[in-house]
Amino acid sequence: MAMTRKQRRLVTIGLAGIVLAIAATLILTAAKDKIVFFYGPTELKTMAASPGQRLRIGGLIEAGSLVKSDDLRVAFRVTDGTTVLAVAYRGLLPDLFREGQGVVAEGVLESDGTFRADSVLAKHDENYMPKEVAEALRKQGVWKGQKNGATP
Amino acid sequence: MLIWLPIALLTGVAVLAVLLPLGSRSKARDEGGDVAFYRARLTEIEGDAARGLIEPQDAEAAKIEAARFLLAAERSGPDEREGAFSLGRRRGAALIGLVLVPVIALAFYGVLGAPDRADAPYAEQQALLKTSTDIDSLMLRVEQQLAAHPDDVKGWQVIAPIYLEVARYNDAVKAYLQLLRLKGPNAADFSGQGEALVLAAEGVVTSEARQVFEQALALDGTQLRARYYSAIALEQDGDRVGALARYREMLQGLPDTNGAAGAIRARMAALIGAAEPSGQNAMIAGMVAQLDAKLEADGSDRDGWIKLMRSYQVLGQRANAEDALVRARKAMASSSEGLAAINAAAQELGFGN
Amino acid sequence: MTVELGHYALILALALAFVQMTVPLWGSLARDPALMRVGRMAAWASFGFVTFSYAALTMAYVNSDFSVLNVVMNSHSAKPLIYKISGVWSNHEGSMMLWVLILVLFAALVAWRGGGMPERLLASVLSVQGAIAFAFILFVVVTSNPFERVFPIPVEGQGLNPVLQDPGLAIHPPLLYLGYVGFSIAYSFAVGALIHGRIDAVFARFVRPWTLLAWLFLTLGISMGSYWAYYELGWGGWWFWDPVENASLMPWLMGTALVHCTVVMEKRDALKVWTILLAILTFSLSLLGAFIVRSGVLTSVHSFASDPTRGVFILGILTFFVGGGLALFAWRAPMLRQGGLFAAVSREGALIVNNLFLAATCAAVLIGTLYPLALEAISGAAISVGAPFFNATAVPLVVMLLAFLPIGQTLAWKRGNLLGAAQRMMVALGISILVSLVMLSMVHGGPVAAPLGVGLGAWLILGSVSEIMSRSWRRGATLRIFVARAFGLPRAAWGAALAHAGIGVTVIGIAATGWGVENLGVLKPGERIEIGAYSLVLDKSFVRNGQGFREDVARFSVMENGGFAGAVETGKRVHAGRYMPTTEAGILTLGLGQVYASVNDFHADGSVSLKAYWKPLVLLIWLGSLLMAAGGGLALIDRRSRIGIVVRSKAAALLAGRPA
C-alpha cells in the first residue's frame, strides 16, 4: 500500500513491457523460421534454392506425368509452361488433384532437383485456382483467367 | 398500379416513426441514473454481507467506496438537464422525416427497383410450362426429370441426340458421359461423345475426341460413326491416302441405300476433289481467303487467327495452317495472353511447337 | 409483389437508418428529448422493415421464385425446405442481409432494454448504431442487392452445391454473425459514450451484457465452424489457421479481453480508457474479418465472394469506423476522469495481465494473417504463414496466460494477497502436477507437450473448483452451510468458474491430439489397417445412390482387442451435374474419442486407399467450448447484469423510500 499512484503506473507499464517483449520475441523468431516461401518452377530454377529448405511450389500438373505406385507413392511433374519440376510424394491426393489442374505442394527440394512434398493441396472449388499458382502462371503467360480456364 | 398502394403505406409508416416522437411534449425523464445505480450497489453489498456471502471487513470497504461514488454523483447532480426548447430544431428534424425519408427511399427504389415485375413462384411457372408443347419446354421437362433422378438412363438416351440436334454440343458431351457412367463403357455412347466433341470444336477432330473414338473402336471395331470420324481425323492430319482407304473399307459393308453411304461417298469425292473445286469447298475456300487477307491487314484479332488455322487444317492444307501459326505468333508477340491462346489452339490442332 | 415490397422495405430501412444516425445525435448535442426519442422509434421501425424485407427474400427462396437472380444462383426447386431457408445466408448477398438484420435487431434490443439508461447516452449509442446500419444497408443495396430480378425467368435454379447442404453450415454463420455484429453494440456504446463525454461504472454495467452476449455467440459460432470443417472437409483437422478462421478468432480474443475488463470498470471504475479502446478494436476486428472474407484479398477455403468493388466498399466502411472511432478516442480519452486505485497484486492487476496476453496473442494472429499480404505488396514475394508460425507465437502466449489464470482468478479486488492465493491453489496445483507426472511416466510415445497440456487443463479445472470451494467454505462451517453458500454465490462467479473450467476441458482435448494416431494404406476387402489400439477392417466397398448423388462407399468394421466396436462408412460422392467428387469422412465416436476414416481412392481391383485416424478425447475440444459459452450464459443471467429492469426497480424502490 506504500506505492504511490506513479509507482503503480510504472508497475503496470513495466508489466505491459514484459508481455510485449515476450510477444515481439516470439513473433520475430517465428517470422524468421516458420514462414514458407512460394515459388513457381521457373523461379525455383533461377534462384537455386538450398536443398533442405522448406518451400511451397505450385503450377499446373503436367498431363501424363502422374505415376502412382502401390504403397501410395506418387510422382508427378509440375509445370508453368516454361520449366518442369518433378515432385515426389507419399500420401493421399486431394479430390481435385487432376492432370492439367493447378496444385500447390509443400516440402523440401532434394539435391537431385526433385521436390519431396509432404503435403499437396488443391482446394474444394471446381473453378478454384490457387492464387499463388495463378500468379506464377500469369508471369509465364500460361493462365488466361477464370473464364477460359473452365473446362466445357 | 397496385404496388404503389402498399409502397405509399410503408412510406407512411416510416415517416410516422420519425414524426411521432417529435410531436410528444413530455419532458426528459428524471432518472438520477448514477445516484440510483450506486444506491442499488450499496443495498446489494448489504444484502450480500447479511447473507454471509462476503466478509464483514470486505463489505465495509466496498460500502465505503460505493458511498464515495454516490456522494460524487449526488454532488454533480443529474446530467439530464434539458436544453432550451427550439421550434426550429423540431421543424428541421420533422423535415428530415417528412421529406428526406420518402426522397431517399423513392430515389433509390426508382433506380434499383422493378415495380412492374410480379412474383414468379416455381409452382406457377411450372403450370405455365406444362401447357406449352414446343421443343424447348419438352427438353426442359426432361432436364428437370434428370436433375431429380440423375440415374435415369432412358432420359439421358432421349436427350443426348437432341442436344446434338439443337447444337448444344457441350451438354451433349455431358449427357453421353452420364450414359457411360450408368451403362458402363460402350462403343455407341463413346462414339456419341466423340461426335459431340468434334462438333463442339467446329468440326475438328481434336486429340481428345480421337482418344474417345479409339476407345469406341476398341470395344466394337465395326462402330460406323467412330470409324467415320477417325477417317476424318486422318484427313485433317493430311493423310489423304489413309483416309480414302478407310472410307473405302467402310463402304464395303454398307448397302447403297444406307444414308451413311451417301455421306461417305461425298466425303471421298471431296477428297479426291481437288479435281472438283466447285460447290461448298470452293465457297469455304473463298471465305478463308477473305479472312486471311483481313488478318494480314490487321493482326490483332486472336480468335480470327485461331479460326484461320482451324480452317486451313479442315481444308487439309497443313502447310498453310502452319504458316498461319507463324504469322499469328508474330502478330501476337506483344500479348502474352494472346500468344498462349494461339499456342494452345495450335497444340489442340496437333501441330506447332 | 412481395419481392418488390421486400426490396422497397430494405430501402426504407436505409432512409430510416439515416434518420437514426442524425436526429438523435443532434438531439443529444442540443439536449432536446424529442429529437433523442426519434432514435428509439427509428430503431424499432428499421428493425421492422428489415425483418419484412428478409422475410420476403426467404419467401422467394421457399417458393423458388426464379425471377430473383439471387435465388436462381443459389437455390434449386429440388432442395429440401430447410436448405432453401438456410440457402438465404449461404451466399454473399443473403449473408449480408442476415448481417444487416442482426445489426438492426441489436439496435432494436438496445432501444427496448435501454429504458433505464441515461437518455443522452442512449441517443448517442443509437446514433452510432444507426450509422453502422446505414453503411451496411447501403453496401447491400448498392453492391450486393439480393432483390435483383432477371428476365426471362429461368426454369430452374443453379444452386444445388452439395457442400453447402449441411446442418453445420446452416447454423454456424448466423451464430458467428450474432457474435461479430453483437460487438457493434460495444462499439456504439464506446463511441456514444465518447461523444457523450461520460464514461463510468454505469456505462460499464450497461455495455457488459451486450458484450457477454456477443462473446457467447461468437464462441458457439467458432466452435460449430470448427466442428463443421472437421467432419465435412475430410482432412481430419479441426483448426487450420486459415485466414477466415483467424478473422473470427481475433475479435474473439479481443472480445474475451473486453468481457473481462468491463468487469473491472463496472466494479472498480478503473481501466476506463483501455475498455473504451478495446470496445473499438473488437468491432474493428470484426469488420476486418468481414473485409477479409468478402474481398477475397486472402485466399482461403471459405472465401465465397470475391469482388473488388465490394472489397473497396467494405474497406471504406472499415476505414471510416475504425479511423473515426480511434480519432474520437484520441481526442476525448485524455479528458477521462482517473479511475479507482488498486495494487499491482490484485484482481484488477491480474485482469490487466489477462488483457495484455490476449492482446498480444491477437497481435500475433493479426501479423500472421496480414504479413503475407503486406510482403507481397512490398516485395512481390509469395509466402505462406501457416500453423508452424501460429504454434510458435500464439500458442505459447496463450499457455502462459492460462498457467497464470487460476491464481489471478482467486486474487481479491483492489489489494490481493499473492501468498494467500497461492495457498488456496496449492492443492489444485499439486494434483495437476501429479497428473502430468503420472501421464508422463505411464504413456510412452507421443510428444512431451501432451502430458503437460493435460496437466495445464487439469490445473484450470481444479483451479475453478477450488475457487468456488474456497469462496463457500469457512472454517467450522457445516456442510449444509457450505452448500448453501456455494449456491448463494453470484451466478457470475459460477459463470466465470465454469467458463475457465471449459477452457481447461478444451486444453485437455487439444493436448490429447498429441496421442492421436494416423495411418494410411491401400486395403483389399478383409485386410486391416492399425490405428493405435484399434484396427479397421474393410468389409466391402459398394455403390450407393442417394437423392441427387451417387456414392462409392467403403464400409469398415472397427475392431478393438479383437472385438467389434462399431462400423464406419466413408465414401466419395458425385452429385448430379458436378464432376468433382466430395469426400465423406466416416466418424465413429467411442467414449470421448473418435475413429475418423477418410477414403481417398477406389481402385479397379476393389481395393481402397484411405487415411485413418484415432483421435483420443477429441470431443473435449468442442465440449469445452460449450462449457465456456454456458459460463457466459450464466454470467449473463446474473440478476446484476440484467439491464434496465434491475436498475429501474431498485431505483423505484429507493425513490419510494426517500423521495428525491
Mean pLDDT confidence for C477-504: 87
Mean pLDDT confidence for B346-351: 80
Check pLDDT > 80 for residue B176. yes
In chain C, which residue's Cα lies nearest the Cα of B122? C64
**Cell numbers that stand for C278 in this block:** 478495446
Give the structural domain span for C1: 1-160
Task: Name the β-bridge partners of C537.
Answer: C528, C557
When mean pLDDT is compared across A40-54, B5-19, C341-355, C416-430, the lowest value belongs to: A40-54
| Same domain as C653, residue C538 | no
How do A115-121 and C534-546 pair as beta strands?
unpaired
Burial (CB count <10 Å: 0-12, 13-18, 19+), residue B182: middle
CA atoms within 13 A on the CB side of C604: 0
Distance CA C639, CA C653 (A): 16
Check pLDDT > 90 for residue C478. no
Mean pLDDT confidence for B321-333: 83
| C281 belongs to a structural domain | no
Contacts of A97 in chain C (CB under 8 A): none
Candidate from B170, B200, B336 with C-beta closest to A141: B336
Q: Angle at the Cα of B23 (from B18 to B26), degrees rounded to 5?
A: 120
| Same domain as C476, residue C597 | no
| Same domain as C562, residue C445 | no
Candidate from C356, C367, C578 with C-beta closest to A15: C356
Q: Which of B173, B193, B336 to mutate to test the interface with A (most CBs of A within 10 A)?
A: B336
Distances (CA, A) of B129 to B135, C65, C68, C77: 12, 15, 18, 15
Candidate from A81, A143, A152 with C-beta closest to B173: A152
Q: What are phi and psi of C575, to 5 degrees?
A: -90, 150
pLDDT band at residue C124 under the 50/70/90 scheme: very high
Contacts of B200 in chain A (CB under 8 A): 152
When mean pLDDT is compared across B88-102, B284-298, C130-144, C244-258, the lowest value belongs to: B284-298
Task: Name the β-bridge partners of A102.
Answer: A60
Mean pLDDT confidence for C112-120: 79
Mean pLDDT confidence for C331-344: 74
Mean pLDDT confidence for C391-418: 88
Between B313 and C146, whose confidence is greater? C146
For B119-136, give the secondary structure using H, E and C: CCCHHHHHHHHHHCCCHH
Subunit contact C344:A8, Cβ cutoff 8 A: yes
With an 8 Å Cβ cutoff, is A47 touching chain C? no
Contacts of C400 in chain A (CB under 8 A): 22
Check pLDDT > 50 for residue B21. yes
CA-wise closest residue to C251 among C181, C351, C333, C329 = C181
With an 8 Å Cβ cutoff, is A13 touching chain C? no
8 A C-beta contact, residue C23 and residue C35:
yes
pLDDT at B28: 54
Which residues 6+ apart lie within 8 Å of B301 measured at CB?
A: B294, B295
When mean pLDDT is compared across C174-178, C321-325, C497-501, the lowest value belongs to: C174-178
Candidate from B36, B121, B146 with C-beta closest to C651: B36
pLDDT at C438: 87
With an 8 Å Cβ cutoff, is A71 touching chain C? yes
Contacts of A1 in chain C (CB under 8 A): 343, 415
Distance CA C239, CA C217 (A): 18
| Same domain as C578, residue C437 | no
Candidate from C5, C41, C488 with C-beta closest to B51: C488
Contacts of B51 in chain C (CB under 8 A): 488
pLDDT at C11: 97
Which range of B32-36, B133-137, B160-164, C379-383 scores highest in mean pLDDT? It is B160-164
Check pLDDT > 60 for residue B79. no
Burial (CB count <10 Å: 0-12, 13-18, 19+), residue C324: middle
How do A54-61 and A102-109 pair as beta strands?
antiparallel
Single-letter code of the amino acid located at B321: A
Give the distance from residue B179's alpha carbon to the nearest chain C alpha carbon, in angstroms: 13
Q: Write out pLDDT tens, residues B197-234.
A: 888 887 888 888 888 999 899 988 888 889 888 888 88
With an 8 Å Cβ cutoff, is C22 touching chain B? yes
Q: Angle at the Cα of C438 (from C433 to C441), degrees rounded to 5?
A: 125
Distance CA C384, CA A36 (A): 5
| Same domain as C627, residue C568 | no
Mean pLDDT confidence for C285-292: 86
8 A C-beta contact, residue C457 and residue C443:
no
Distance CA C348, CA C268 (A): 8
pLDDT at B321: 80
How do C608-615 and C517-523 pair as beta strands?
antiparallel
Q: Which of 219-238 (C) contact A at CB < 8 A?
A: 233
Q: Which of 82-121 (A) contact C at CB < 8 A?
A: 91-93, 95-96, 106
Which residues 6+ apart lie within 8 Å of C71 measured at CB?
A: C60, C61, C64, C65, C157
Q: Which of C383, C522, C599 to mutate to test the interface with A (most CBs of A within 10 A)?
A: C383
Check pLDDT > 50 for residue C47. yes
Check pLDDT > 90 for residue C277. yes
In chain B, which residue's Cα lies nearest the Cα of A145? B337
Single-letter code of the amino acid located at C316: G
Distance CA B244, CA B224 (A): 15
Mean pLDDT confidence for C110-137: 89
| Same domain as C8, residue C126 | yes
Task: From C139, C160, C181, give the residue that closes a domain.
Answer: C160
Q: Which of C40, C142, C155 to mutate to test the interface with B (most CBs of B within 10 A)?
A: C155
Check pLDDT > 50 for residue C303. no
pLDDT at C413: 78
Candidate from C49, C65, C198 with C-beta closest to B119: C65
Distance CA C292, CA C314 (A): 9
Check pLDDT > 60 for residue B276. no
**Percentage of chain C with pLDDT > 70?**
91
Per the document, the length of chain A is: 152
Between B66 and C228, whose confidence is greater? C228
Mean pLDDT confidence for C649-659: 39
Subunit contact B341:A148, Cβ cutoff 8 A: yes
**Percentage of chain C with pLDDT > 90?**
45
Cell 438484420, residue located:
C101
Q: Can you tell me whether residue B245 is helix, strand or coil? A: helix
Distance CA A93, CA A3 (A): 64
pLDDT at C576: 63
| C82 belongs to a structural domain | yes
Subunit contact C27:B10, Cβ cutoff 8 A: no
Check pLDDT > 60 for residue A140. no
With an 8 Å Cβ cutoff, is A11 touching chain C? yes
Q: Which of C302, C341, C356 to mutate to test the interface with A (most CBs of A within 10 A)?
A: C356
pLDDT band at residue A124 under the 50/70/90 scheme: very low
Share in percent of chain B as helix, strand, coil (round to 5): 75, 0, 25
| C326 belongs to a structural domain | no
State the average pLDDT for chain C.
85
Between C331 and C487, whose confidence is greater? C331
Candidate from C163, C384, C572 with C-beta closest to A36: C384
Distance CA C128, CA C416 (A): 39
With an 8 Å Cβ cutoff, is B200 touching chain A? yes
Subunit contact A141:B337, Cβ cutoff 8 A: yes
Radius of gyration (Cα) for chain A, nearest Å? Answer: 23
Give the distance from residue B207's alpha carbon to the nearest chain A alpha carbon, in angstroms: 13
| Same domain as C543, residue C510 | no
| C549 belongs to a structural domain | yes
Q: Can you tell me whether residue B274 is helix, strand or coil? A: helix
Which range of B68-77, B182-191, C266-275, C481-490 scores highest in mean pLDDT? It is B182-191
Q: How far is CA C341 from the centre of its chain?
A: 33
pLDDT at B62: 75
pLDDT at C160: 64
When mean pLDDT is compared across A1-15, C183-197, C358-372, the lowest value belongs to: A1-15
Between A145 and C31, whose confidence is greater? C31
What's the total number of domains in chain C? Answer: 3
| Same domain as C463, residue C548 | no
In chain A, which residue's Cα lies nearest the Cα of B171? A152
Contacts of C139 in chain B (CB under 8 A): none
| Same domain as C492, residue C431 | yes
Q: Which of A42, A148, A151 to mutate to test the interface with B (most CBs of B within 10 A)?
A: A148
In chain C, which residue's Cα lies nearest the Cα of A35? C385
Task: From C97, C128, C160, give the residue that closes a domain.
Answer: C160
CATH number where C147 lies = 1.20.120
Check pLDDT > 70 for residue A151. no
pLDDT at A149: 31
pLDDT at C108: 95
With an 8 Å Cβ cutoff, is C511 touching chain B? no
Between B258 and C187, whose confidence is greater? C187
Q: How many helices (H) and strands (E) does chain C have?
A: 19, 10
Which residues 6+ apart lie within 8 Å of B331 measured at CB?
A: B295, B299, B300, B305
| Same domain as C633, residue C602 | no
With an 8 Å Cβ cutoff, is C59 touching chain A? no
pLDDT at A152: 29
State the average pLDDT for chain B.
80
pLDDT band at residue A148 under the 50/70/90 scheme: very low
| C499 belongs to a structural domain | yes
User: How many beta carbons lie within 10 A of that of residue A13, not counting itself?
Assistant: 10
Candidate from C118, C198, C340 with C-beta closest to B31: C118
pLDDT at B213: 92
Mean pLDDT confidence for C211-239: 88
For C548-576, give the secondary structure using H, E and C: CEEEEEEEEEEEECCEEEEEEEEEEEEEC
pLDDT at C647: 37
DSSP B30: -
| C13 belongs to a structural domain | yes
Cell 435465388, residue located:
C71
**Cell numbers that stand for C308 in this block:** 473488388
| H or E stretch at B105 | helix B101-112
Task: Name the β-bridge partners of C560.
Answer: C534, C563
Q: Angle at the Cα of C4 (from C3 to C7), degrees rounded to 5?
A: 90
Interface of A with B (CB under 8 A): 81, 141-144, 148, 152
| Same domain as C19, residue C138 | yes
DSSP A92: P
Task: From C142, C160, C178, give the residue that closes a domain.
Answer: C160
Q: Write out pLDDT tens, residues A94-105.
A: 766 777 777 888
Give the distance from residue B339's alpha carbon to the nearest chain C alpha carbon, in angstroms: 25
Q: How far is CA C528 from the centre of its chain?
A: 40
Which residues 6+ apart lie within 8 Å of C633 measured at CB?
A: C216, C495
Single-letter code of the amino acid located at C399: V
pLDDT at B30: 47
pLDDT at C486: 83
Long-range CB contact pairs, A107-110, < 8 A, 24+:
A107/A54, A107/A55, A108/A51, A108/A52, A108/A53, A108/A54, A108/A55, A109/A44, A109/A49, A109/A50, A109/A51, A109/A52, A109/A53, A109/A55, A110/A51
pLDDT at A59: 83
In chain A, which residue's Cα lies nearest the Cα of C235? A94
| Same domain as C625, residue C582 | no
Give the distance from residue A35's alpha carbon to the nearest chain C alpha carbon, in angstroms: 5
Distance CA A152, CA B139 (A): 20
Check pLDDT > 50 for residue C660. no
| C318 belongs to a structural domain | no
Candidate from A22, A38, A136 with C-beta closest to C383: A38
Q: For the sheet with C608-615, list strands across it.
A: C517-523, C608-615, C593-602, C586-590
pLDDT at C653: 42
| C193 belongs to a structural domain | no
Candidate from C19, C118, C651 with C-beta closest to B96: C19
- Which parts of C345-386 fold into alpha helices (H)? 347-379
Contacts of C200 in chain B (CB under 8 A): 34
Chain A and chain B share a number of CB contacts under 8 A equal to 14
Check pLDDT > 50 for residue A143. no
**Cell numbers that stand for B100 in this block:** 428526406
CA-wise closest residue to C236 among A55, A90, A119, A38 = A119
Give the distance from residue A150's alpha carbon to the nearest chain B alpha carbon, in angstroms: 12
